[in-house]
Amino acid sequence: MHDCTVSEAEDFIESLPLSVELPDSFTTTEAKVEVTGLLTFGKYLSCLQCHKKVADGSFTAKIIKCGNCNLTQKRDKCITNCFAQVKVSQDDNQFTVTFFQEQIKKVFNILQGPQTLDEEKITEALLDAPILKIKYDNKSKIINEVSPYII
């Protein structure tokens, strides 16, 4: 057996370093990409108050309660949103990113087409889009900004 004793240490008196937010260049990436395919398309409902996604089973319920802010609301008054997980290519690299509704609308604006939540129209718009300049989160791969790539 080893002889071991535990004793109380002196209080730590030095100041701790402040946490600093990382600059965008550490957490986001900018790329010029071509959309090569759509992997997943989905629609979901958002709360009227906090705009967070409400439970998946809510598409059939008449009244729903937000799990985030606890607001009880009529399902038909909730906001319907959509997302698309797409395969993009940059030079010889292919990777997957997620477009949420705001960025999908920007693609419709680039194409000067009507904005809709129809899966077929969104798929067509994304695949018909010119080379896009995107900015996305390195961890989540969610697109924050999208614009046409201008040479």
Q: What is the pLDDT of residues 29-45, one digit of tens each?
A: 999 999 999 999 999 99
Contact 67, 114 (CB under 8 A): no
What pLDDT sits at residue 3? 80
Contact 36, 94 (CB under 8 A): yes
Name the phi and psi angles at 120, rounded to 5.
-65, -45
Provide, rounded to the nearest whole percent, the portion of the chain with pLDDT above 90.
58
Provide, rounded to the nearest whole percent, the portion of the chain with pLDDT above 70.
92
pLDDT at 25 over 70: no
pLDDT, the chain, mean: 89
Distance of CA 130 to the CA centre of its chain: 21
Number of H helices, E strands in the chain: 3, 7
48 DSSP assignment: T
Calculate mean pLDDT across residues 50-78.
Answer: 85
Cα–Cα separations (whole angstroms), residue 120 to 43, 117, 123, 127:
13, 9, 5, 11
pLDDT at 151 over 90: no
pTM metric for this prediction: 0.76
